[in-house]
A and B are shown apart, each in its own frame.
Chain A
């Protein structure tokens, strides 16, 4: 059974996270030994994929220089980008394969480790069947690796269960966009943002989670545009809003249906557009009739006057954009929330034009590219449905297998963990995913991993999930391999290799190929370079929705990115979708989609009367596997705090800095209070990047959206009381 070989405290002492502050050679070394080259590449720490130049000397990354010519961010970077170079050469970096023994992880070699993994996969599959092994991927991987992982799972392992941590990111939006438009991509380039007359930001802590987008929003304001922000918290992007809608957690869809209600009531819809380019309008129009602003106000906590105002601004604008992120997507009705926003854009004709559209702000490094080519449980390369028979034939021909040999849809990330827990799945191969921090209800995840008969983790660092592994393989960082990613605009970018992996660590795709060979797949996993994987991916995506066939590394370099679809070599790419009013469904029309309200999977009641919502801070990235090791970033916000309104705090006798004991139906934990007027008084907020007793995911619940399979991080029910300082409160992060 997969249990940590040593107490977690001991593993943390050995493998970190430790805090590194200084670059190789120390602070003053660069003046004596300057960089030998500057490599133009991209930041790895969110879906914006800002251009950055990394300073390289003697096969080490020693600093950064802004890349001012890169058009998307023009040199701008957030603190994660500024400090991203500190992950290279980190003292916690795994340098050898590790195998679990009775007294800890012992250093192994690649032959032994890979042979062992292949043997265990074969043994478990012989005993329990092909689908008893699951594969986890991640959206920080390059698109080549993501593609290869999908092929590896389906061809080499032969399992239908492959999914990835993007399942925790923006799959609700992806599902809603596919339903409405037939394609999963933000339709607008970011340069459209400053051209909008009105922008509504719905459930996005834009300034902290996609910081450089802030400048685009402020430029919209400078151009005379108006900003509406919908959030239970005032986050930094709300400091210049013209209208603030403090929605009660989990009631978003009613707010958006009410906005549509006012638009239709006051005849602000674009009937010509609706008639010519959409279907399903009448049903949606009927469905919003009951959602008067007064009715919605009581449920959402947003005043009727504010709903009226938002509706009129959106309905009367020449060009309006709605931008949304995890706030609406991380709900058990995440798809409905996104569909309700799309319905507003369709009804007002705000789509497919300059400054007009509905866009999702994808969060993860390769959140867009990582989901297009096959590590999603229900998709094949090119964003094809795994049940699309023509698509299966095409991909099978590229993979040189029979179409029937490609498994059908498997379980999503949450369902895979559930099946490990129930015993249906017995083994897990995980790369670039840290479910012990990122999945809800940590105790459940822990039990599931402990039940596994075999766990293999591939990562550059010892993640909290790797503690449970039988074998930990030292993989690569973004700067150690060449490849592509797609940013928040669907723009395909070229990641340059800056350095080789240190020690015995290896480039991820070579590890996957070596494992595939040991599973009996020789010729199908023979690649000499990332470029060869990319060329195969281009073929596999050809004719699909996310068609990459016309994209090459050289073309990306020349144009500083190519937005897909790009079907032919002479095609310039597609910065803005739907310009001709033509959508990706067979009839060319967009769909209005019904968005019935239903209660959260963890409703508030007398025992648990307070909403708990979770999110991120600007200085940390996702589960913190990389960023909880970078001293400067950790110092900015060392541990999770609980944001609470003074009204709620006072009623519990809680003052700023007091410890608050939070209990949900799953468990309890203690956090320090930050008493602030910038949050609804019926809601508390805790960011999620931390592990163990600091993890708010000890308290969140496993309810998922039935279609997107995303967990409901944004709405839990809790009760709070004044608590005692926990044991961890006196321990600061350890410098090595």
Chain B
């Protein structure tokens, strides 16, 4: 069986929030998205980025949980906190290096993305990656993403001394150039300095 991977490419994101709206259609948390899209710095750029659970191999959220309420499935999907165990302390919310878990104060339970376990276990793609119109979120065989995309997948992240390996991949460029994001830098004004666009 072909192994599918979950890939995030923020550079493709158009900020449309289709993923948020589709995530909120899930039966287990209908009305509440487990993914979010943010402008990075709207004053300076139209760039947006989706944040979705990275499903760490050794999840920080589970490590810092005093009630041992956060479990990982055999196939590496990190689940929402177990309701009978969760003490709603929010350690996981603070501890996650990616800023993913949400404390649902109305039910005193941490909820997070479970990579649409209901869908993926039935051979479907996760909802966000299915609807994403720019395929900034993609659920495809890893061979396919390597073949079709310019960027390359990585799943190793360093936060200070902590190295985190994840089930979800981030698409990254091999080299990153500095990019100007002010319209003024692209405009022609007679007499002005135009070195930036030359």
Contacts and interface: CB of A to CB of B under 8 A. Distances in A.
Contacts of A215: 133-135
Q: How large is the interface on B (under 10, 10 to 19, 20 to 34, 35 or more residues)?
A: 35 or more
Interface string B96-136: 00000000000000000000000000000101001111110
Interface in B8-41: 11-18, 20-22, 24-25, 27, 30-31
A227 to B, nearest CB: 12
B163 interface: no
Interface stretch (A74-82, A95-103, A182-190, A697-705): A74-82
Contact of A677 (B20, B21, B45): B45
B30 to A, nearest CB: 4
A83 interface: yes
Contact of B130 (A68, A237, A244, A301): A68
Grouping DSSP codes into helix (H, G, I), strand (E, B) and loop, the A interface class, with mixed when no group exceeds half, is mixed
Q: How large is the interface on A (under 10, 10 to 19, 20 to 34, 35 or more residues)?
A: 35 or more
A76 B125 CA distance: 12
Nearest to A683: B183
Contacts of A91: none
Interface stretch (B53-61, B65-73, B79-87, B190-198): B190-198
Contacts of B22: 77, 82
B125 A234 contact: no
B104 to A, nearest CB: 13
A483 interface: no
Contacts of B20: 79
B148 A676 contact: no
Contacts of A66: 127, 130-131
Given A222-B150, A298-B188, A678 B18 contact: no
A517 B99 CA distance: 64
A306 interface: yes
A605 B148 CA distance: 50
B132 A76 contact: yes
A66 B11 CA distance: 24
B178 interface: no
B19 to A, nearest CB: 9
Nearest to A679: B183
A256 to B, nearest CB: 16
A239 B125 CA distance: 27
B14 A31 contact: no
A280 to B, nearest CB: 30
A215 B16 CA distance: 13
Contacts of B190: 297-298
Interface in A168-224: 207-208, 211-212, 214-215, 218-219, 221-222, 224
Contacts of A30: 27, 30
B1 interface: no
Given A218-B135, A238-B46, A675-B43, A300 B188 contact: yes
Contacts of B197: 303, 305-306
B184 interface: yes
A214 B133 CA distance: 7
B25 A82 contact: yes
B7 to A, nearest CB: 13
Interface stretch (A21-29, A310-318, A341-349, A400-408): A21-29
Interface in A2-43: 21-22, 27-28, 30-31
Contacts of B150: 221-222, 224
Contact of B46 (A22, A82, A246, A678): A678
B63 interface: no
Interface in A638-689: 645-647, 656, 674-681
Contacts of B155: none
B3 interface: no
A734 interface: no
B48 interface: yes
B75 interface: no
Interface in A287-323: 297-298, 300-306
Contact of A246 (B30, B125, B135, B186): B186
Nearest to A682: B187
A412 B46 CA distance: 37
Given A75-B131, A83-B21, A222-B149, A207 B14 contact: yes
B12 A77 contact: no
B94 interface: no
A246 B183 contact: yes
A305 B186 CA distance: 10
Interface string A218-247: 110110100000001111111110001110
B30 A677 contact: no
A453 to B, nearest CB: 44
Contacts of B44: 676-677
A507 B133 CA distance: 32
B181 interface: yes
B174 interface: no
Nearest to A240: B11
A63 interface: yes
A169 B193 CA distance: 39
A636 interface: yes
Given A677-B45, A677-B182, 4 more contacts: A81-B18, A81-B131, A82-B25, A208-B14
12 contacts: A66-B130, A78-B133, A211-B133, A211-B134, A236-B14, A245-B186, A246-B183, A618-B14, A619-B17, A646-B43, A675-B43, A681-B187
- Nearest 3 pairs of A and B residues by beta carbon: A207-B14, A236-B14, A211-B133
Interface of B: 11-18, 20-22, 24-25, 27, 30-31, 42-48, 125, 127, 130-135, 148-150, 181-184, 186-190, 194, 197-198
